[in-house]
Amino acid sequence: MRDIERILKATQCPEETKLSYAMYMLTKDVVFWWINIRQMMEERGENVNCESFKVRFLEEYFRQC
């Protein structure tokens, strides 16, 4: 996640394309996880953007004890 954020900042990636770029950087199981989470979010009418991805990603893969 830090690498993705660092690249987005360094390239001055516009907000509307950040999520697309972050999705491009995903690999293996994370791709399938995000496809499912994104579909659930869209069905619930939730905002699907780079920040919501980051929140969900951290909750899923870096839960606090």
pLDDT value of residue 63: 76
**What sign does the CA torsion over 9, 6, 4, 57 have?**
negative
Rounded to two decimals, what is the model's pTM?
0.68
pLDDT value of residue 65: 52
pLDDT value of residue 9: 85
Residues ≥6 apart with Cβ < 8 Å to 1: 54, 57, 58
Instruction: Tell me which H or E stretch contains 13.
Output: none
Residue-by-residue pLDDT tens, the chain, 65 positions: 788 888 888 988 888 888 888 888 778 888 899 999 999 999 999 999 888 988 998 888 887 65
Place of tokens 């993705």: 4
